[in-house]
Chain A
Amino acid sequence: MAPFTLIDHTADLGLEITAAGLPDLYAEAGRALMAVIFDNDPPRKASQGQTLKVTGMDRVDLLVKFLGELLYLTMTRGLAPVDIELEKLTDTRLTARLGLARVDFAENQPAIEIKAVTYHQAAVERTPDGWRARIIFDV
């Protein structure tokens, strides 16, 4: 099964992500975000690394904030996370190791400008095969 699918949303963009384990779910959500921004052709090679720590009220809040940080790095700092590995994960905290690639937007214009990661219908749920997340972006 593909790790993510697009959800039809009239004005915005939604994703449904699946993974066997919870750390994989967060990492796949980050990769899905990059795939959407760069139209399935994200940068490949990291030129620097960074450790990212995020806290949240619950799993959903943690996911929204985590993806928000990845979005900020990409769109504002021009550093796209091409390698994402969850080192620590609880219901309210995560630590991720990121490999970042510098993006030149003049040469590599994103397919879409995602304004924000929303809480609307956001979910992190168990499934018979593992985990599923749902997230809607404001575009």
Chain B
Amino acid sequence: MNLERIDDFRWRVPRTGQMRVDGIVYASQKMLAHPDQAPQQVANVACLPGIVGHSLAMPDFHWGYGFPIGGVAAFDLNEGIISPGGVGYDINCGCRLLTTTMTSEEVTPVLEDLVKTLFNNIPTGVGKSGSVKLGQKDLKKVLRQGAKWAVDNGMGRPDDLPHIEDHGGLADADPDELSPRALERGRPQLGTLGSGNHFIEVGRVEAIFDQAAARAFGLFENQVTIMIHSGSRGLGYQVCDDFLKKIGQHVAKTGLELPDRQLACAPVKSNLGQRYLRAMRAAANYAYANRQVLAHLTREVFQKVFGRSAEDLGLDLLYDVCHNIAKIETHEVAGESRPLCVHRKGATRAFGPGHLDLPDFCRAVGQPVLIPGDMGRASFVLAGTEGAMAETFGSTCHGAGRLMSRTQAKKSVRGRDLYAEMKKRGVIVMATGKATMAEEVPEAYKDVSEVVEVVAGAGISKKVARLRPMGVIKG
């Protein structure tokens, strides 16, 4: 695939064949030395009807299914489509960050106990049920209300909600669009972490890059933070699966030719497109509630280990972002304000300073953006910029992006004691799954610092702080 250099951080995928627009890949030269099929997937997305602007890939891009991971694409509401593959199976997989009043010196002496207590009290891994017992009625409330349901039921603080994208709940979500199987899968799993690349990470602020933004976000050097990465669990996977099949049948009937079956899509304005949107929002709300419950459980663990109240420890929610979603948003395109259906598949919203959708605490500096790295190196807090609003429909990267397949990762670590290696690096890890450590080894991922340098260099985000991991639990 021929990529044309635009500048140090942007590469064009020129419009050819069935592509309706160019693609733009945000990347460094070095990243493009590791080609997989992602650039072809950027080109495939550019073939979809009603696409506006460019088919985009953020610098953590890698080969997905249909859309690349790290893909962003916006569609006209009248002429354009919505695609469940452009959101992903894990609807509203995302991240939240809690800040504390503590420094790393206060936490290090009890770090091992803290990680063990988190591991023993937060359900991780496959087949684990959560401690929240939901009947059908309550489940439907979760799907309509999102994080608010958890707060109303004693699992959080009212002032958590403004610190969550969409205030923790998307409007016009319809639980009745979910299949009985999706509901069956969702009922036992609220407040569970999952497995694979989901995690809870205790870290510390290692460096501050923007003092004003750090002050607005409540960050200071050497502060202990907690990052939570999880999504909509089996309920979300089932919603995507159900609608991919319905929409796949629709595509077969209409004869729409697609370069990849996983790009199955329906017009946004169609009944089927709207039904998917309403179901997707319900699943997204489940994920917001899930992360709210996980944060509540985390606060309880910290109270237990430190013998102090959660309020005394701080444990405030900085922000919660989603990175697999489709939303109706208004953006400036060629000087005109247009409502669009924006897909972010492994990409994060990054609204710039002054945006009216942002809460008071960050409106002056831009939306907090949370970028988890691998468990050995770093994570970042960024802020959204006007550059993102101008170029990427207010979007940026979501993480490090994989370099190695799981098979390659497992081969590369044979004979190594990964837990001991991580401990030597100062990181205590506990994981449920046998293969998790091997598959999630740091070198299986791009260096998140390089990913962040590209988005910062391109002006679509600004660096606020770098976090260093201290302790991690995984499924």
Contact = CB atoms under 8 A, between A and B. Distances in A.
Contacts of B403: 10
Contact of B433 (A13, A113, A121): A113
Interface string A38-68: 0100000000000000000100110001001
A11 interface: yes
B89 interface: yes
A114 to B, nearest CB: 9
B214 interface: no
Interface stretch (A18-26, A93-101, A102-110): A102-110
Nearest to A64: B245
Contact of B184 (A76, A122, A136): A76
Nearest to B236: A115
Given A76-B184, A112-B435, A8 B264 contact: no
A111 B435 contact: yes
A65 B475 CA distance: 27
Give the interface centre of A8, A10, A109, A121 by most chain B CB atoms within 10 Å.
A10
B240 interface: yes
Nearest to B231: A115
A10 B402 contact: yes
B262 A120 contact: yes
B55 interface: no
A118 B65 contact: yes
Contacts of A120: 64-66, 260-262
Contact of A68 (B184, B241, B264, B439): B241
Contacts of A119: 65-66, 244, 248, 260-262, 264
A61 B195 contact: no
A138 B89 contact: yes
B404 interface: yes
Interface in A108-139: 109-113, 115-116, 118-122, 136, 138-139
Contacts of A60: 261
Interface in B222-274: 234, 237, 240-241, 244-245, 248-249, 252, 260-262, 264
A38 B63 CA distance: 25
Interface string A74-97: 011010000000000000000000
B309 interface: no
B67 to A, nearest CB: 10
A75 B126 CA distance: 8
Contacts of B241: 68, 116
A139 B65 CA distance: 11
Contact of B402 (A6, A11, A72, A115): A11
Nearest to B129: A105
B434 interface: yes
B331 interface: no
Interface in B402-451: 402-408, 432-435, 439
B404 A10 contact: yes
A61 B248 contact: yes
Interface string B9-36: 0000000000000000000000000001
B445 to A, nearest CB: 10
A23 B431 CA distance: 39
A6 B404 contact: no
Given A10-B36, A113-B433, A119-B262, 9 more contacts: A12-B65, A111-B435, A113-B126, A113-B194, A113-B475, A115-B237, A120-B64, A120-B66, A121-B260
Closest 6 CB pairs of A and B: A105-B127, A120-B65, A119-B261, A120-B262, A113-B195, A8-B405
Interface of B: 36, 38, 62-66, 69, 88-90, 125-128, 181, 184-185, 194-196, 234, 237, 240-241, 244-245, 248-249, 252, 260-262, 264, 402-408, 432-435, 439, 475
8 contacts: A76-B234, A112-B406, A112-B439, A113-B125, A115-B90, A116-B240, A118-B262, A119-B66
